Amino acid sequence: MQKTWNFHKIFLIKQRKLIADLGISPILAQVLINRGIDTSRSAEQFLKSQRSNFADAFLLKGMRKAVDRVRKAIENKEKIFIYGDYDVDGLTSCALLFYVLADLGAEVSCYIPHRMEEGYGLNTDACKSIKKKSASLMITVDCGINSFEEIKYLASLGIDTIVTDHHQPQEDKIPAAYSVINPHQKDCPYPYKELAGVGLAYKLAEALTGGTKDISEHLDLVALGTVSDMAALVGENRLFVKYGLEVLAKTKKAGLKALMEVAGISKGKISAYHIGFMLGPRINATGRMGSTEKALKLLLSKDAAESHELAKMLDQENRQRQRIEGKTLKEALNMVENEVNFKHHRSVVLHNDNWHPGVIGIVASRIAERFYRPTILISTAKTLGKGSGRSIKNFNMFDTLDKCKHLLKEFGGHEKAAGLSILRENLTEFKTIFNQLAHQLLDVQDLVPALDIDMEIALGALSEKLIMELEKCAPFGIGNPQPLFVSRNLKLKNKPRILRANTYKLWLTDDKITCEA
């Protein structure tokens, strides 16, 4: 789609203040201002990114109570179960807590539900299974905030539950767990609200060790889960990923070493890109296709040979996932052409009996990106349809689904992405109401994607020094995009050369500097 170019306003007074106080270039100063970092103090903190900027874990509501209960369980040799989600965020959260609890002497096991057979979150059959294994304490990671009935059921079985979850509570209701750790709950004084599930797991681990053990070796898992969950890379998330990438580059975990080798990532500097497009999808693939057993086993493996075999299996499953995803995308695009009229539809809701529930989230993301409409894809292979939604700017997916909840069996997620289940007979009405809400919430200009451009610069302003200076803003991702500039009045230095279909190589100049493009 044609995109609107949005140029940030130039704030010369703020620019000059940052330049004078920090000795940085006008371009870096403006890039920082564009990201809301417009005071000398906040800019210095952002550029230095010190670990001292992490907030105290005990500021999280429920943390003290949770820590006391876990320590009591370890002391009394109670069986602890970590109950996670089947995506990368959930799996890394499980692995991280397993490592730390085992190191503290706990008797600990993990439980990850099967995507196709059990679905997301807690379920009563899993609760029964955990009770049979004599557990008396369960810690949820990346799930549990809306599992009201299941947590009541666990209590009736004599199992205390500690919920750690970063998803939004429905209507601000909190389950009757022993302790709930979620920065979105009311009256939680924790200053940063956007931690991924694995970030919260790390905070719990940090509080449990009380500074007596260095757990920074597990920041590789925090970076992996945070980037894969598409969390905003600002605030503490950015710090977690920045330091986590350094740990990942020299990780001692056999599983992560093997996975990087299979993915073709050379030793040395690793970026958020490598996680988002190479490591994360391979770990996610097993959960999307069904069981996460191999992925969790890989994250916990200490054996090089075993890790290499598991990494190869994950790579193969990822290739299979890509084939299924490609077929689903093709079918979805055909349905958009036949069923969606963009004059009347400000949303896309599609369903198909043959779609694999494990790939519809990725395909929904591709459709939303291509047509710039909030998109929900639903697999109706069973009586109860399983759906996955992806949003666009100015459209809160979670809040909109909350307004349709009378038609849904269950739902959960956040502003940008959500999951749901729905009975087949409610699909037609749901499509209508969801589209009506999209009309109310989105203006015509909201349906045009935008490029947010940091500033216009002369091509001659580019230098190695500037590039190194801009690297101080890394890691880049959601909430902290790579700097984007515009240069005008350029000339072709030579005739473009066709490398392959739709790919050209050329040289551009502004008469002061010449760049390859």
CB 459 within 8 A of CB 487: yes
Does the pLDDT of residue 306 top 90, yes or no?
Answer: yes
DSSP 294-343: HHHHHHH---HHHHHHHHHHHHHHHHHHHHHHHHHHHHHHHHHHHH--TT
Does the pLDDT of residue 154 top 80, yes or no?
Answer: yes
Query: What average pLDDT score do residues 294-298 get?
Result: 96
What is the C-alpha to C-alpha distance for residues 387 and 407, in angstroms, rounded to an integer? 13
Phi, psi of 61 (to 5 degrees): -55, 135
Take residue 101 and report the two structure tokens written for it: 């609890």
CB 194 within 8 A of CB 211: no
pLDDT tens digits, residue range 359-417? 999 999 999 999 999 999 999 987 899 999 999 999 999 999 999 999 999 898 888 89
pLDDT tens digits, residue range 124-147? 999 999 999 999 999 999 999 999
Predicted confidence at residue 316, as pLDDT, reads 95
What is the C-alpha to C-alpha distance for residues 503 and 486, in angstroms, rounded to an integer? 21
Take residue 510 and report the two structure tokens written for it: 């502004």
pLDDT tens digits, residue range 339-354? 999 989 999 999 999 9
pLDDT tens digits, residue range 46-80? 999 888 889 999 999 999 999 999 999 999 999 99
Predicted confidence at residue 115, as pLDDT, reads 78
Predicted confidence at residue 341, as pLDDT, reads 93
Residue closest to 110 by CA, chosen among 75, 76, 86, 144: 86
Other Cβ atoms less than 10 A from the Cβ of 117: the count is 10
Confidence of residue 467 (pLDDT cuts 50, 70, 90): very high
Query: What average pLDDT score do residues 172-190 get?
Result: 95
| DSSP E strands, 355-407 | 375-379, 384-390
Confidence of residue 421 (pLDDT cuts 50, 70, 90): very high
Length of the chain measured in residues: 517
The alpha-carbon radius of gyration of the chain (Å, integer) is 24
Residue closest to 82 by CA, chosen among 227, 247, 197: 197
List the beta bridge partners of residue 505.
497
Take residue 483 and report the two structure tokens written for it: 């700097």
Predicted confidence at residue 33, as pLDDT, reads 97
Please report, rounded to a whole number, the percentage of residues in the chain having pLDDT higher than 70.
Answer: 100
pLDDT tens digits, residue range 275-286? 999 999 999 998
Query: What average pLDDT score do residues 94-114 get?
Result: 96
Phi, psi of 450 (to 5 degrees): -125, 150
Query: What average pLDDT score do residues 408-431 get?
Result: 93
CB 139 within 8 A of CB 70: yes
Spatial CB neighbours of 319, under 8 Å, sequence gap ≥ 6:
none
* Alpha-carbon torsion angle 65, 71, 74, 77, nearest 10: -60
Take residue 318 and report the two structure tokens written for it: 């990822």
Which amino acid, one-letter code, is at 446?
A: D
Does the pLDDT of residue 267 top 80, yes or no?
Answer: no
Which amino acid, one-letter code, is at 481?
A: P
Average pLDDT, the chain: 94
CB 288 within 8 A of CB 301: no
Predicted confidence at residue 263, as pLDDT, reads 96
Predicted confidence at residue 512, as pLDDT, reads 87
Which amino acid, one-letter code, is at 415?
A: E
What is the C-alpha to C-alpha distance for residues 269 and 248, in angstroms, rounded to an integer? 9
- H-helix or E-strand containing 222? helix 219-228
- The backbone region for 264, taken as left when phi is positive above 0, alpha when psi lies in -120 to 50, beta otherwise, is left
Predicted confidence at residue 159, as pLDDT, reads 97
Alpha helices in 340-413 (DSSP H): 360-371, 397-402
Spatial CB neighbours of 186, under 8 Å, sequence gap ≥ 6:
172
Spatial CB neighbours of 343, under 8 Å, sequence gap ≥ 6:
none
Take residue 360 and report the two structure tokens written for it: 């519809």
Considering the entire predicted model, what is its pTM?
0.90
Q: How far is CA 228 from CA 214, 279, 283, 488, in A?
A: 24, 9, 10, 36
| DSSP E strands, 204-278 | none
Predicted confidence at residue 269, as pLDDT, reads 80
Query: What average pLDDT score do residues 317-327 get?
Result: 95
Cα 72–Cα 74–Cα 76 angle in degrees, nearest 5 = 65
Predicted confidence at residue 60, as pLDDT, reads 98
Burial class (CB in 10 A: 0-12, 13-18, 19+), 94: buried
